[in-house]
Structure 1
Amino acid sequence: MPHIFKIERPLFKHRYDAHPDDGGASLYVRMRLATNNLPDLALHGGPDATCPVVAVCHMPNFSKTLKIGLGDPSAADGAVRWEDLIKANVSGTRHCWAMDLPAHNSGGKVARRRLVWKRTRNVAVEGMKTSGLSPRNWKLLEDTDGEGEGEGEGEVLAVFTSDVSPGKAGALQVNVDFGGDWETMVLITCLALYERSRRR
């Protein structure tokens, strides 16, 4: 069953709020102020900044690659898994990343799987439609050929549909359940694309 987050970006606030449709706790995403050296985005595992950080994103200036960290870089153990979110084409309609996930037909074994966020005009979150007013609509596919095309088997693993209403960002629908780390990575990579696009 798909898991949907309604994502808000409150006006005049440096944050996003992700509200799950299953009644679970909202997630708080802090945006970096221009005057400090914190990550550009920090995803907290609860509704405010007092909750533990579970993922971060750094957006280096003039770089095609965003740095995604699963974990809290400021934690004493420093146990963060870093991944690259890479712009795969000149137009910026495709962004690739990878993580360890259950392998296909492997009986529980884990394998490195490549993924790609692709801009879409045809696929939307359940009950929504894509808007021609926004380029911030993406679908997540497996990048089986390693070229950032993401055609492969064609399964849409997740989809983000933007909402141009004031104070709204959109909705993220996660279609497959690979566990908590998977959902965290889908959310932080999606918000990283949204925030990078918004800043341009």
Structure 2
Amino acid sequence: MNPAAQYLITHSFWRHNYDVSTTNKTRLFHVANSSFMPGKPDLTFHRSPDANGPIAGVCKFRHFSSDCEIGLGDPERPNRMDWEYLHKQGFMKRTYWFRMQLDDGTKQTFTWKRTHSLGSGSENHKLVEETSQTVVAVFSCGSISSKTTGYLDIYSNLGPRFSLMALISGIALIEKGRRTNQTTALSGASAGGGGGGGGVC
């Protein structure tokens, strides 16, 4: 099936920040990663090639929880912010879901699930609309050695708010996985172990 939209996600050196482009390399978003700056969102999506542009959305990782708070809009204009929540389903599963109001006013629930049958990366996720079980997006994830983080293919035209939510939640899952892998590797190194790399999703 052909996607209605496709985004290319790359990361900077040491994977501190992300950039989102179209497949013809038109820059759409710069994603500032603030993992070492308490009080700021973990991810801030600027609608520009750098961090000087307007903010389109943010993501906050909850402490002592696997859930995320995702804000659609600019935090400096709180009256126009829409907050959605990305919840982890179960303890061992790497499955996350969110429920949001679409541009047409309806509310739908979507779930990110691992997939081996869709996507072109080493570790892929599909976004499923729960009522119809329709695959509405696929995140193809690359390896940690590549500057290309992955591709997000959106297959259903559910409006710009949904596309932004799919993009923010997809990159949030990547960054949460990267931080977990980094912590595990550091713990293994401090304990005298080897510690392996693996994928970033």
| Length-normalised TM-score, structure 1 | 0.81
1:163 and 2:142 are equivalent in the alignment? yes
C-alpha separation in 1, matches of 2:24 and 2:134: 23
Could you tell me how far 1:94 is from its partner in structure 2?
Answer: 1.2
Which residue is 1:79 aligned to?
Answer: 80
Q: What is the aligned-residue identity percentage?
A: 31
SS at match of 2:170: helix
Which residue is 1:177 aligned to?
Answer: 157
Count of residue correspondences? 177
Q: Contact conserved, 1:96 with 1:117, CA < 8 A, in 2?
A: yes
Q: Which runs of 5+ in 1 are unaligned?
A: 103-108, 145-152
Which residue is 2:171 aligned to?
Answer: 191
C-alpha separation in 1, matches of 2:69 and 2:22: 25
Could you tell me how far 1:30 is from its partner in structure 2?
Answer: 0.6
More helix by share: 2
The one-letter amino acid of 1:66's match is C
Q: Contact conserved, 1:141 with 1:158, CA < 8 A, in 2?
A: yes
Could you tell me how far 1:84 is from its partner in structure 2?
Answer: 0.9
The one-letter amino acid of 1:187's match is L
The one-letter amino acid of 1:162's match is C
Could you tell me how far 1:33 is from its partner in structure 2?
Answer: 4.1
Which residue is 1:106 aligned to?
Answer: none
Could you tell me how far 1:80 is from its partner in structure 2?
Answer: 1.0
Could you tell me how far 1:97 is from its partner in structure 2?
Answer: 0.2
1:141 and 2:132 are equivalent in the alignment? no
C-alpha separation in 2, matches of 1:99 and 1:110: 10
Which residue is 1:27 aligned to?
Answer: 29
The one-letter amino acid of 2:94's match is T
Runs of 4+ in structure 1 off by over 3 angstroms are: 22-25
The one-letter amino acid of 2:118's match is V
Which residue is 1:95 aligned to?
Answer: 96
Q: Contact conserved, 1:11 with 1:166, CA < 8 A, in 2?
A: no
1:119 and 2:114 are equivalent in the alignment? yes
The one-letter amino acid of 1:177's match is N
Q: Which runs of 5+ in 2 are unaligned?
A: 181-201
CA RMSD across the alignment = 1.8
| Length-normalised TM-score, structure 2 | 0.81
